Amino acid sequence: MSTHPALIAKTARRVRMDNRFDVVQDPQSRDTYYMNMGPQHPSTHGVMRIKLHLDGERIISAEPIIGYGHRAHEKMAENRDYLQFLPNPSRVDYLGGMIYNVGYCQAVEQMLGIEVPERAEYIRIICNEMNRISSHLLWLGTFLMDLGAFTPFLYAFDDREKILDILDRITGSRLTYCYARFGGLSHDIDDTFLTQVSGFCTYFTDRLKIYEDLVIGNVIFRERSIGIGTFEQDLIQQYAITGPCLRAMGHANDVRKDEPYGIYDRFDFEVPTQTDGDCFARTLVRMDEMRQSIRILEQAVGDKPDGDFVASKVPKRIRPPEGDHYFCVESPRGSFGMYIVSDGTDIPFRMKLRTPSFSILSAMPAVMAGTMLADTVAILGSIDIVVPEIDR
Amino acid sequence: MIDDKLTPLIKDTIDVDDNARGFHAHYTALANNLPQIAKAFHSENYHLEMITCQDRREADTVFRLVYQFNALGKPQRHLIHVDIAPDATAPSITSTSPAADWYEREIYDMYGVSFDGHPDLKRILMEEDYVGHPLLKDYVDPPSPYREDSKEGEDG
């Protein structure tokens, strides 16, 4: 046994940590008790703990405890220049990596007023929407597996693999993409890519029908999702809920429509909504979103012009004008915002990443109070959290 | 209208160019007015989009809290700068905007700024017994216990 003071402190802390993970009877009451869900639990989709105060199987209060995956992305941003931070955004949310990567480039382009060539804008849209479908597919598979359905997981991952292969061929990575550059892209696409994307669109339109037959009508799934985890309308204003969770409550708000970035205003697509705000409504919204993404993809592949894939006049040193800047994009989980403060040098003075899952998870105590323990899994799965995005 | 309600509460208006900045109105305000500002925004159906902080102790000897409110639909982002002295506290707006709960905890965790009236001000991203505030500009990483160990020849 070591006598080093740092090791003694570490051992003491480990003992304290272990004690916190027990199921503890509430000292105030004989009938209620505390239980930890996580941090190593398959349906928290990452390392996160929820401290549940239970009365039998009914939740009295739930407190999410986060930070296990904190990687200090915001501190990193203050210690490197704009280009060196480029690989980071796709690691913040690894399921929407392309959207975050492109979004960060668009934020810097907005600050510097860089014009992006048409061709690059179209390719970005194609990659973004492919990424959105792959994120929704992973959500569909894991959410249903949380609810006990194993088959949809295999179907969804099979299709997701097709997207990853297409994107892998062109970007060089399968998950944490670093394809966009300030002013365009790192390299051009070829015709095979376009053939593959349009082939995927045709294929996936049929597959979506299979998913709906397989899942939406399933009686077990309906029992476990209809009327479960309903978000009250007040939560929107109280917690700034965005993304599919907001659209499942009857509000057709989407960053791509409300403040179109890139060239999203040229595409004809709808913002799907549902009114109930429960787990079932969120599922339907995401299913419809995949269909709308296919619509965007078909238009983008058809219209894509020739030309440059990167702007010719991008400054060698990125020095944005002094002051505050905000840029937001629609990630698969909601509005992802980058708040960047420049002091005129080539290193950001402050970069705040406003991630959608952080806001939605902070509303969980209000949603979960009064529900049953087994519904925790359904609620957490249906809001599609990605824990590294919350911890940053 | 939100502008009329804000006029008595703000200190100064900063001109912004929407297209280059991404937000539409920019103010500075005093910390005391924060609860009224939050109430004014909430009464006009705005929501709190984020709170963050900047460590400006070196240049201006202040912490700058940044509040951003937005409305659903056509975005109307209002950015509010609140400068506070390094040893001062700011009033919490949790009672009006529950979303502020986690954001204020994060600022407390990362900068050490305290909020008066917050129901449960504790660390959020770092562990409970962590010492120091990582996003301060003068923050120095504590020496790693693992490296000390290896110097002494323990644990390989």
Reply yes or no on whether the pLDDT at B20 is more than 50: yes
What is the rounded radius of gyration, in angstroms, for the C-alpha atoms of chain A?
Answer: 22
Predicted confidence at residue B4, as pLDDT, reads 74
CA distance A38 to chain B (A): 16
Strand order in the sheet with A49-55: A24-25, A32-37, A49-55, A58-65
Co-location of A28 and A86 in the same domain: no
**pLDDT, tens only, A336-367:** 999 999 888 889 999 999 999 999 999 988 88
| Residue A61 contacts B where some CB pair is shorter than 8 Å | no
Q: Are residues A277 and A306 in the same domain?
A: yes
User: Looking at the complex, does the CB of residue B138 fall below 8 Å from at least one CB of chain A?
Assistant: no
Tell me: the pLDDT tens digits for A247-296? 998 888 888 888 888 888 888 899 999 888 888 999 999 999 999 999 99
B60 in A contact zone (CB under 8 Å): no
**What confidence tens digit (pLDDT) does each residue in A383-392 have?**
888 888 888 8
Look at residues A26, A44, A65 and tell me which one is the last residue of a structural domain.
A65
To the nearest whole Å, the CA of A66 is away from the closest chain B CA by 6
Retrieve residue A29's tokens.
């009451």
Selecting from B19, B22, B54 the residue whose C-beta is nearest the C-beta of A349 gives: B54
Contact B97, B48 (CB under 8 A): yes
Q: What percent of chain A is helix, strand and coil (3-state, nearest 5)? A: 50, 15, 35
| Residue A238 pLDDT | 87
pLDDT of B149 reads: 54
Is A325 in Cβ contact with B21 (below 8 Å)? yes
Closest CA to A73 of A91, A48, A96, A47: A91
How many CB pairs below 8 Å do chains A and B form together?
Answer: 108
Instruction: Determine the Cα–Cα distance for residues B47 and B21; give it in Å rounded to an integer.
Output: 20
**Where is the domain boundary, A10, A43, A65?**
A65
**So what's the pLDDT on residue A27?**
63
| pTM assigned to the model | 0.86
AA letter at A45 = H
Q: Cβ separation of B22 and A325 shorter than 8 Å?
A: yes
Q: With an 8 Å Cβ cutoff, is A111 touching chain B?
A: yes
The pLDDT of residue B154 is above 80: no
Q: Which residues in chain A are closer than 8 Å to B46, comparing Cβ atoms?
A: 237
Q: Considering chain A, what percentage of its residues have pLDDT values greater than 70?
A: 92
- Counted domains in chain A: 2
Inter-chain touch B22–A354, beta carbons under 8 Å: no
> Quick check: is A165 in a domain?
yes
Closest chain B C-alpha to A16 CA, distance in angstroms:
11
The answer to whether A252 faces chain B, any CB pair under 8 Å, is no
- The per-residue DSSP string of B33-95 comes to GHHHHHHHHHHTTEEEEEEEEEEEHHHHSEEEEEEEEEESSS---EEEEEEE-TT--EE--TT
Give the number of C-alpha atoms closer than 13 A to the C-alpha of residue A189, restricted to the C-beta side: 29
Block residue for tokens 């629609």: A330
Judged against a pLDDT cut of 90, whether residue A61 lies above it is answered with no
Among the partner-chain residues A7, A240, A350, the one whose CB lies closest to the CB of B49 is A240
Per-residue pLDDT band for A138 (boundaries 50, 70, 90) equals very high
Residue A151 within a domain: yes
Range of the domain at B89: 2-152
Write out pLDDT tens, residues A177-199. 989 988 889 888 888 888 999 99
Evaluate if residue A5 carries a pLDDT over 70.
Answer: no
Strand order in the sheet with A323-331: A323-331, A334-342, A350-354
CA distance linking residue A142 with residue A377, whole number of Å: 11
| A200 and A253, same domain (yes or no) | yes
Identify which of B22, B110, B135 has the shortest CB distance to residue A326: B22
Which of B20, B125, B129 comes nearest A67 by C-beta? B125
Residue A5 resides in a domain: no
| pLDDT average, residue stretch A15-31 | 56
Write the CATH number for B101: 3.30.460.80
Q: Measured between CB atoms, does A66 come within 8 Å of chain B? A: yes
State how many domains chain B has.
1
CATH number assigned to the domain comprising residue A113: 1.10.645.10
Q: Check whether residue A134 and residue A47 sit in a common domain.
A: no
User: The tokens of A306 are what?
Assistant: 């020739």
Q: Which of B23, B102, B129 sits opposite A362 (nearest CB)?
A: B102
Burial bucket for residue A96 (CB in 10 Å: 0-12, 13-18, 19+):
buried
Does the residue A6 lie in any domain? no
Together in a domain, A348 and A268: yes
- Does the residue A220 lie in any domain? yes
Q: ipTM for the complex?
A: 0.85
Contacts of B70 in chain A (CB under 8 A): 240
Same domain, residue pair A126 and A32 = no
What is the pLDDT averaged over residues A163-185? 89
Find tokens 């970069």 and name the residue: A351
Q: Reply yes or no on whether the pLDDT at A17 is more than 70.
A: no
- The residue range of the domain holding A54 is 18-65
Residue A3 CB contacts under 8 Å (≥ 6 apart), including other chains: none
